[in-house]
Chains A and B, each alone.
Chain A
């Protein structure tokens, strides 16, 4: 059939074939399509894949609503059926792009469990989830002050500006910034501060840097347009002075993803605040401390300015405070258990997400042990699981010949002194060790297969086995690990 598709005569109907394949599952295409299918699908946001919208077609939902209880029908279905006639897919897409249909998810059929029926350990586990952001972040008061003073000043002064916030992952950057903005929004609701708009983009949620324009415009008006159009509309908005323009705060998360070679998107985002008509305040967040100097062009760095803030990794005391604040007054955790988690995590990365994850895992372990309190032992087990080093186990679980092979690689490294060995030298060592141990040695072809297995497990780094005897082999575990694993194994 591929051949048939390739012929020029058939290719005329290709567009129809594609159309039918996309919508075949839901057999709803009733109106024959005239003209070309809409080309602008590629501009769409990920949330609006045509398939998802098609699943909730009026015909289908109507059928559903008659078959099942009315309480379980999706809310979207009712809004869609309120239109007189069933919509064609293109009508639906048009409505989605205009922002007239809000995307909804299917509701679950049964109710969630009540809080009162949950055990204390379960409640602690829910409180420890990373997604439960507390109302005020512990141990970030100074940073909160700093960002608050900057944003409050900018909003009161009615002028634009930029700020760069950096820090390693899990140190509370985004949570602090959104917390500041929530506080400011509350103040402006009480008329203690001029009103302002808040927009937010995340570099990682964009397929392409230029999609940032689409997202920003969508948050301003709710409409989805192509990026060229969005960019020119935004340019018009920010460069032409308009009375009653309110200050706009734009939060740009993951700034380093938006940097392409031309850096035009970053330039524009940071150039708009310099226009006096814009009243735009841009807060940028990234991990790298020296990103402006390392990655950005001189003119972009100059526009980014020198207002910077670095979030340091949490110390063990701060991590302890964070976890105890999450737990509230709950007795589910022993104090020393929390301290152990905090100390272990603070020594490696100072990442709060990690501390919370380990605590959650510890509650799960305590749950399976059917005790009501998480003790030091549970935490130790969780730490061993999550700060895992499974290499020694992997070596112990290798077959006898694989172990000999690993020993041979290590021996060859010590003999030659260079880290990189060839298969030939290793095979000679295999021969020696095998003779020493009194086992029969495999033929080189089979040894290559051993080599490939170990390479796939990433215990060694090996080339493709095409150039067999001369392929290069690198050890991916340390030689000490091999000796340790094999010697301890012998004793048992």
Chain B
């Protein structure tokens, strides 16, 4: 075991098929080239070089939805050899610090400074001393900078004031999701124009960009033929319309490949069974032929994955049909019955329980006790159909239907028993 580990590239002994290669290349780890972000990269590069040439400080705030490539762009630039000589580069992820004030300590550690004391203030002083007398320019990237936001915003203001410090040469880049964090949280920076960070937005990926990303990734491993262009278009159209998050797109792509592989494996099993029935040579030939052919993924496979991921309500009917305990079904029916027929939508657990008991006794089903019933409602809550607003007593908890009432009604009214309950207004006890 020890010996082959020294050469990790040669270790996976079975030859990898194209599905596996495609699956591996569609991961959401860091990459070298970022198609679809050329403009932003150019703008960032231009920002850095202009400040480097003028030797002046500057701050930048990068915003955008999750999965739009903010961190990927900046880490690509941080690795760039063109900047490595002229800039001292520091990357800090603000979620990895212990508390908001500890960011100074982390920065000291990254810059290898020696503060005089152990307090937050000593660290801050050491940083400021360093900023005034630094030989090289400092590029400080603060990822997930919204984690530094507090009520007084002391830390954020201090950090964004560093570029205006006399003699300081620092390029500060903050990354976060919200578009208006600097306006909302750092209003005082607006008062002085030299303090105000330059804003840069990363728009969600468009359909064409997602297609480009997929093409470049798949071409890297030479498995472009796994995805026909139609399937890519469908996938990209759906993802870009909903979120434009490339992590999601890659995830869906990988799942499509996984499912295609699974189906192919199942097909092979069947084929092998058939091949056993055939005689010697024919079977071997046919087997080789089968192994060589690569089935590109189908549009139906992509559509199936997309529906499973994005279409929550499609699952509802089969869920209720198959794997829904009877008492939970009755509870949901009672709730829909109350919602449809009563003006007061403020439904407490106690009231729901009363109606549910009447429904049960009319159908000759043993009703659950109130304590048990509360547990049942909790279980339905985990499916996301309901939400419970907690009150002091279990009987006073408020039950809210989270899904669309008509949708649940339509899904429930298929079954005979349930349909009869939904039309049974006498159970409401008016």
Residues of A within 8 A of B (CB): 149-150, 153, 156-161, 166, 168, 191, 194-195, 228, 231, 235, 243-244, 262, 264, 267-268, 271, 274-276, 287-290, 293-294, 298-299, 301-303, 305-307, 312-313, 315, 346-350, 387-391, 419, 461, 474, 476-478, 480
CB of B370 within 8 A of CB of A289, answer no
In the complex, chain A residues whose CB is within 8 Å of the CB of B55: none
CB of B8 within 8 A of CB of A244, answer yes
Least CB distance from A77 to B in Å reads 37
In the complex, chain B residues whose CB is within 8 Å of the CB of A160: 27, 29
CB of A302 within 8 A of CB of B147, answer no
- Given known contacts A194-B11, A235-B96, is B245 in contact with A348 (CB within 8 Å)? no
CB of A244 within 8 A of CB of B5, answer yes
CB of A312 within 8 A of CB of B29, answer no
CB of B368 within 8 A of CB of A299, answer no
- Given known contacts A347-B327, A348-B325, A388-B369, is B375 in contact with A149 (CB within 8 Å)? no
- Given known contacts A149-B262, A287-B382, A477-B370, is B323 in contact with A157 (CB within 8 Å)? no
Q: B122-130, B350-358, B407-415: which one contacts chain A?
A: B350-358
CB of B24 within 8 A of CB of A159, answer yes
Contact of B30 among A276, A288, A348, A477 (CB under 8 A): A276
Contact of B245 among A289, A302, A346 (CB under 8 A): A302
- Given known contacts A299-B66, A302-B67, is B375 in contact with A349 (CB within 8 Å)? yes
Contact of B384 among A244, A288, A312 (CB under 8 A): A288
CB of B251 within 8 A of CB of A307, answer yes
- Given known contacts A153-B23, A307-B251, A349-B379, is B323 in contact with A313 (CB within 8 Å)? yes
CB of B375 within 8 A of CB of A274, answer no
Q: Counting CB contacts under 8 A, is B158 at the interface?
A: no
Q: Counting CB contacts under 8 A, is B98 at the interface?
A: yes
In the complex, chain B residues whose CB is within 8 Å of the CB of A271: 93, 95
**28 interchain pairs (CB within 8 A)?**
A150-B258, A158-B12, A158-B24, A159-B27, A161-B28, A168-B379, A235-B96, A243-B8, A244-B6, A268-B95, A274-B29, A288-B384, A289-B383, A301-B66, A305-B28, A305-B247, A305-B251, A313-B325, A346-B326, A348-B368, A348-B372, A349-B379, A350-B325, A389-B372, A391-B369, A476-B350, A476-B395, A477-B370
In the complex, chain B residues whose CB is within 8 Å of the CB of A289: 382-384
In the complex, chain A residues whose CB is within 8 Å of the CB of B144: 267, 299
CB of B395 within 8 A of CB of A194, answer no
Q: Counting CB contacts under 8 A, is B322 at the interface?
A: yes
Least CB distance from A72 to B in Å reads 41
In the complex, chain B residues whose CB is within 8 Å of the CB of A302: 66-67, 245, 247-248
Q: How far is the CA of A400 from the CA of B240 in the complex (A)?
A: 70
Q: Counting CB contacts under 8 A, is B272 at the interface?
A: no
CB of B325 within 8 A of CB of A347, answer yes
Q: Counting CB contacts under 8 A, is B191 at the interface?
A: no
User: Other CB < 8 Å A-B pairs besides A276-B29, A303-B247, A305-B248, 10 of them?
Assistant: A156-B12, A160-B29, A271-B95, A299-B66, A305-B247, A347-B325, A347-B327, A461-B393, A476-B370, A478-B354
CB of B30 within 8 A of CB of A298, answer no
Least CB distance from B186 to A in Å reads 19
In the complex, chain A residues whose CB is within 8 Å of the CB of B325: 313, 346-350
CB of B258 within 8 A of CB of A153, answer yes
In the complex, chain A residues whose CB is within 8 Å of the CB of B376: 348-349
In the complex, chain B residues whose CB is within 8 Å of the CB of A268: 95-96
Q: Counting CB contacts under 8 A, is B364 at the interface?
A: no
Q: How far is the CA of A267 from the CA of B144 in the complex (A)?
A: 10
Q: Which residue of B lies closest to A166 (CB)?
A: B382
Q: How far is the CA of A391 from the CA of B353 in the complex (A)?
A: 14
Q: Which residue of A lies closest to B30 (CB)?
A: A276
Contact of B20 among A156, A264, A388 (CB under 8 A): A156
Q: Counting CB contacts under 8 A, is B209 at the interface?
A: no
Least CB distance from A86 to B in Å reads 36
Contact bitstring B241-274, A, C-beta under 8 A = 1, else 0: 0000101100110010010001000000000000
CB of A476 within 8 A of CB of B255, answer no
**What 9 pairs across the A-B complex have the smallest Cβ distances?**
A312-B323, A389-B369, A302-B66, A290-B384, A276-B29, A299-B66, A157-B24, A347-B326, A264-B95
Q: Counting CB contacts under 8 A, is B151 at the interface?
A: no
Among A153, A191, A262, max chain B CB count under 10 A is at: A153
- Given known contacts A268-B96, A305-B28, is B357 in contact with A480 (CB within 8 Å)? yes
Contact of A306 among B255, B370, B372, B381 (CB under 8 A): B255
Within 8 A of A (CB), among B1-17: 1, 5-6, 8, 11-12
Among B12, B319, B323, B353, max chain A CB count under 10 A is at: B323
Q: How far is the CA of A293 from the CA of B248 in the complex (A)?
A: 14
Q: How far is the CA of A141 from the CA of B82 in the complex (A)?
A: 54
In the complex, chain B residues whose CB is within 8 Å of the CB of A390: 369
Q: How far is the CA of A241 from the CA of B66 in the complex (A)?
A: 25
Least CB distance from A55 to B in Å reads 34
Q: How far is the CA of A235 from the CA of B98 in the complex (A)?
A: 13
Least CB distance from B28 to A in Å reads 6
In the complex, chain B residues whose CB is within 8 Å of the CB of A274: 28-30
- Given known contacts A306-B251, A387-B368, is B12 in contact with A461 (CB within 8 Å)? no
Q: How far is the CA of A348 from the CA of B372 in the complex (A)?
A: 9
Least CB distance from B386 to A in Å reads 11
Q: How far is the CA of A474 from the CA of B370 in the complex (A)?
A: 15
Contact of A157 among B20, B98, B350 (CB under 8 A): B20
In the complex, chain B residues whose CB is within 8 Å of the CB of A477: 370
Q: Counting CB contacts under 8 A, is B301 at the interface?
A: no
Q: How far is the CA of A307 from the CA of B351 in the complex (A)?
A: 39
CB of B66 within 8 A of CB of A461, answer no
CB of B326 within 8 A of CB of A191, answer no
In the complex, chain A residues whose CB is within 8 Å of the CB of B326: 346-347
- Given known contacts A289-B383, A348-B327, is B393 in contact with A275 (CB within 8 Å)? no
Q: How far is the CA of A57 from the CA of B30 in the complex (A)?
A: 52
Q: Counting CB contacts under 8 A, is B233 at the interface?
A: no
In the complex, chain A residues whose CB is within 8 Å of the CB of B251: 305-307
In the complex, chain A residues whose CB is within 8 Å of the CB of B426: none
Q: Which residue of A lies closest to B72 (CB)?
A: A274
CB of A194 within 8 A of CB of B372, answer no
Q: Counting CB contacts under 8 A, is B216 at the interface?
A: no
Q: How far is the CA of A474 from the CA of B392 in the complex (A)?
A: 12
CB of A228 within 8 A of CB of B372, answer no
Q: Counting CB contacts under 8 A, is B40 at the interface?
A: no
Least CB distance from B253 to A in Å reads 10
CB of B29 within 8 A of CB of A298, answer no
CB of B323 within 8 A of CB of A350, answer yes
Q: Which residue of B lies closest to A231 (CB)?
A: B96
In the complex, chain A residues whose CB is within 8 Å of the CB of B24: 157-159
CB of B353 within 8 A of CB of A478, answer yes
In the complex, chain A residues whose CB is within 8 Å of the CB of B147: 262, 264
Q: How far is the CA of A303 from the CA of B404 in the complex (A)?
A: 28
In the complex, chain B residues whose CB is within 8 Å of the CB of A290: 383-384
Q: How far is the CA of A306 from the CA of B368 in the complex (A)?
A: 37
Q: Counting CB contacts under 8 A, is B42 at the interface?
A: no
Contact bitstring B391-417, A, C-beta under 8 A = 1, else 0: 001011000000000000000000000
Q: How far is the CA of A267 from the CA of B245 in the complex (A)?
A: 17
In the complex, chain A residues whose CB is within 8 Å of the CB of B98: 228, 231
Q: Counting CB contacts under 8 A, is B309 at the interface?
A: yes
Least CB distance from B20 to A in Å reads 7
Q: Counting CB contacts under 8 A, is B65 at the interface?
A: yes
In the complex, chain A residues whose CB is within 8 Å of the CB of B382: 166, 168, 287-289
In the complex, chain A residues whose CB is within 8 Å of the CB of B381: 288
Q: How far is the CA of A414 from the CA of B255 in the complex (A)?
A: 59
Q: Counting CB contacts under 8 A, is B177 at the interface?
A: yes
CB of A387 within 8 A of CB of B95, answer no
In the complex, chain A residues whose CB is within 8 Å of the CB of B370: 391, 476-478
In the complex, chain A residues whose CB is within 8 Å of the CB of B27: 157, 159-161
Q: How far is the CA of A388 from the CA of B95 in the complex (A)?
A: 48
Q: Which residue of A lies closest to B367 (CB)?
A: A389
Q: How far is the CA of A166 from the CA of B11 in the complex (A)?
A: 34
In the complex, chain B residues whose CB is within 8 Å of the CB of A168: 379, 382
In the complex, chain A residues whose CB is within 8 Å of the CB of B379: 168, 313, 349
